[in-house]
Structure 1
Amino acid sequence: MSTDPSYALQALIAHLEQHLAVVSQSRGSADAAIDTAFGSLADAFEDYEDALYEQYSELLPFTIPSDDQ
């Protein structure tokens, strides 16, 4: 089952907005909500990129940093 890129884009935008809300309300770098928002945003980004690739064979010019780097 493939995801519609438009739907995935809307989900990505919602996660970007949620990330901004969490960061703007943060109590510091140790705030666990920031890590949670980052993970959700990263997942939404990957879902959008997967949907773009499935539908149009296109990738985005960004990568998600990992703890391995």
Structure 2
Amino acid sequence: MSIEPSYALQQLISRLEQHLTVVSQSRGSADAAVDAAFGSLADAFQTYEDALYDQYSELLPFTIPTDDDDDE
């Protein structure tokens, strides 16, 4: 059973807001909370994109960078 795109979008917006809050209160690049917020945001993005694809066969025009991208 797939998730509703509108619900996935609301979750993505929530994670974006959460990410902004964490980043704005960060104590530096080694702050584990920033990494956790990034991961949560990336997961929400992927869930939203999957929901869009399942329902409408559409993808978003951008991707989340991965550690593999650093190798290129």
Report the TM-score range of the alignment, normalised by the length of the smaller protein.
over 0.9
CA deviation after TM superposition for structure 1 residue 7, in Å: 0.1
State the partner residue of 2:47: 47
Aligned length: 69
TM-score norm. by structure 2 comes to: 0.95
User: Counterpart amino acid of 2:3?
Assistant: T
Which residue of 2 is the match for residue 26 of structure 1?
A: 26
Which portions of structure 1, spanning 4 or more consecutive aligned residues, are displaced by more than 6 angstroms?
Answer: none
Gaps of 5+ in 1: none
SS at match of 2:60: coil
Matched residue SS, 1:6: helix
Report the equivalent of 1:16: 16
Letter in 2 for 1:21: T
Identity among equivalent positions (%) equals 81
Within 2, Cα distance between the matches of 1:11 and 1:36? 16
Greater fraction helix: 2
Separation in 2 of the partners of 1:11 and 1:56? 18
Is 1:65 the equivalent of 2:57? no
List runs of 5+ in structure 2 lacking aligned partners: none
Q: 1:62 & 1:43 partners in 2: Cα distance?
A: 14
